[in-house]
Amino acid sequence: MVRCNRCGLIAVIKTSWTPTNPGRRFYCCSKRVANCGIVDWYDPPMCDRSVQIIPGLLNSMNRLQGEALEKANEAKRNKKWLIISWILFFLYLVLK
């Protein structure tokens, strides 16, 4: 069990997503309000190659997830317009 150096509370494990330490876990204070900083690293340092590769992969993944969300929203919008157009077409045929 690791304790915070400043306040003495039990430290929790979090994950860093910074470009220099992507995916590396660390101990930090369990108080959300206090900014005690990093207590200690949980994982050993990563090799230089992984530090170079992982940020690019994360950027690609985030970009692709954003594009997928945009496409899903576009599909919903198109579905609504299709339904509206069929309703208008049906009304046109009935009222003609």
Say whether both 35 and 57 belong to one domain: no
Say whether both 33 and 68 belong to one domain: no
Query: pTM of the full predicted structure?
Result: 0.58
* Residues 28 and 37 sit within 8 Å (Cβ to Cβ): yes
Say whether both 5 and 40 belong to one domain: yes
Say whether both 67 and 55 belong to one domain: yes
Segment 71-87 shows an average pLDDT of 98
Say whether both 25 and 52 belong to one domain: no
Say whether both 35 and 62 belong to one domain: no
Rounded CA-CA distance 27/39 in Å is 5
Residue 39 reports pLDDT greater than 70: yes
Which domain does 18 fall in, by range? 1-46
What is the average pLDDT value for the chain, to the nearest integer?
A: 87
Say whether both 17 and 53 belong to one domain: no
